[in-house]
Structure 1
């Protein structure tokens, strides 16, 4: 068991609402990533964060390109009007980026190299589409063969097929996500996105009330004929593609724009912030499996629980990123989780997945739900392409 060397505490966590990415521009399509993040930094300052005491800002961004390139964290710090002396940097690890930014900040605090760190993530998928940076693993057939890169939906179908999940189970999971998101109570941790003259968005756009299992059954599967199945068969001998594809647009995460930010610090940072911490980070982990499997989040979750020194049965809230429906079902089955405790306010299939912001969004959700149910422990886990995964365990402080 490997625990953090010294206490790492959460003092605040906020996020923007998530906007849908639309073909001809979405609600937040005119707001660059650095502005999305800067609005949260200003809100943290309004909530009492002593900006001059911040040691560093660490931000996750999956596609570090265009508006999000050139160290969007530093751009956001300066756009927010924060002091020049605050260092800032980016973590880019695909969908794990935001959670890895949180873990990086936690590690610096645990190591004694920082007392107060702002962590989080941002992704404007309207302005910087996924894969717009033309990563080499997707453009070089040689590197693609070596890394096992496939369309992420193929990884999802492969995982569902290997573990025996049916199309009906996947559809039911998506419907449940929308229904929970629709029923989620208002949250003061969601900070409206504004222009110079008006509020642009104050609630998540994705959840739908007109969704049903019967309706989803009519949707076409998206990945059954994808050419990257050939690479799956090369990487995993004996594997054949399913006779019928399994995941659809409804059981995949929605593309979204959004940002999240949290304040981590030592116990003594309470005197700087003028408030008590709300939670402690007690376990962190990264994991990797052979790509194209989409199972690393389960491996990371087990490691994080072991590092925290607790069993899954002690969890009160689980935020398992809905990278696809199979990700949630697999986490529930493999860890023996109570489905009612998993993604209680919906997930990415309903509200969207702004890639680099995902970890921060789940942290906000976990903290809010722990408070509502008067719980103690929460697990946050995310899988990513290329066989990656990350997880953290937090303990609410009563």
Structure 2
């Protein structure tokens, strides 16, 4: 598998914690901020983009159905360049890159703007049935975010599937806490070394104190300790292992990446950040959806002729 596709440049907003500093931004606004910065860093003009592909799961804003298209237009990309929004749940941003790669491999495009965007904070509450009215009874609000986190096919919330996975593969609470701690430590070290600063495009925000520049992820907990994690109670079942400290977070943000055919990069004299070697996509039991990256990784390695070693 030799796609011949390279990364010319990319950017992302800081990741803002749920109901935090980015809560007033729609997913489209976050995607646009990242898109503009990605093109600038890639030294690619908007009119050079052939297609826009963005990943988005929770369509929170009123114009969310136009999301990828509006990102392209707001970022200055010409009207005649089409756009596509994709949803592969947690892998939507990666799928956007893969879909863009497909276009390049098929000769439909030379340069594609790809990425992902989410405003989980703006997921609305909805009242179902209002369009037809009620003959009798009370109306109730449904939290669309909470509802989305439950898989109606298997009947489990996302965190409950993590509990299922932990039981099946005998992953202890301590192992999960240690991994969560390692993740926090690595994130803190990367931030201290300025690695995230190279990726992030600062966002102008308005707070009670006035205008501010938001330029660091604020969902990290760098002072986390194993002892503090161990004190947290299971969040989803009395004898469970998933807690607020070792579960995945809910954040807002946008990221974008400009990809191109390697021959285009050569003609431009560009220095790519990297190249696509292969990819893999796999389906697993919904009850243990978190195991999905394992067969997908094996597939990608096999296609590339590589091993984990």
Instruction: Give deviations 1:215-263, integer Å, cap 9, x for gaps.
Output: 11111101226xxxxxxxxxxxxxxxxxx10110111111111111001
The 1:29–1:120 alpha-carbon spacing in structure 2 relative to 1, beyond 3 Å, is: same
Structure 2, unaligned runs of 5 or more: 126-142
User: Hey, what does 1:37 align to over in structure 2?
Assistant: 31
Contact 1:157-1:245 at 8 Å conserved across structures: yes
Runs of 4+ in 1 over 6 A off after TM superposition: 133-137
User: Hey, what does 2:234 align to over in structure 1?
Assistant: 221
Number of equivalenced pairs: 283
User: Hey, what does 1:248 align to over in structure 2?
Assistant: 243
User: Hey, what does 1:150 align to over in structure 2?
Assistant: 156
TM-score (norm 1): 0.66
CA RMSD, Structure 1 to Structure 2 (Å)? 2.4
In 2, the alpha carbon distance for the partners of 1:183 and 1:133 equals 32
Shift of 1:188: 1.7
The 1:99–1:136 alpha-carbon spacing in structure 2 relative to 1, beyond 3 Å, is: closer
Instruction: Indicate the SS of the match to 1:71.
Output: helix
Contact 2:60-2:122 at 8 Å conserved across structures: no
In 2, the alpha carbon distance for the partners of 1:43 and 1:290 equals 38
Residue of 189, 192, 202 corresponding to 2:215 = 202
Shift of 1:67: 4.6
Contact 1:68-1:123 at 8 Å conserved across structures: no
1:83-98 superposed matches below 5 A:
83-98=78-93
Residue of 9, 13, 33 corresponding to 1:12 = 9
Shift of 1:50: 2.4
In 1, the alpha carbon distance for the partners of 2:62 and 2:71 equals 11
Shift of 1:199: 4.5
Contact 2:149-2:157 at 8 Å conserved across structures: no
Contact 1:15-1:260 at 8 Å conserved across structures: yes
In 1, the alpha carbon distance for the partners of 2:217 and 2:149 equals 32
User: Hey, what does 1:127 align to over in structure 2?
Assistant: 122
TM-score (norm 2): 0.84
In 2, the alpha carbon distance for the partners of 1:8 and 1:61 equals 23
Q: Is 1:28 matched with 2:22? A: yes
In 2, the alpha carbon distance for the partners of 1:291 and 1:303 equals 19
The 1:67–1:195 alpha-carbon spacing in structure 2 relative to 1, beyond 3 Å, is: farther
The 1:93–1:34 alpha-carbon spacing in structure 2 relative to 1, beyond 3 Å, is: same
Structure 1, unaligned runs of 5 or more: 226-243, 314-398
The 1:92–1:203 alpha-carbon spacing in structure 2 relative to 1, beyond 3 Å, is: same
The 1:126–1:137 alpha-carbon spacing in structure 2 relative to 1, beyond 3 Å, is: closer
User: Hey, what does 2:300 align to over in structure 1?
Assistant: 304
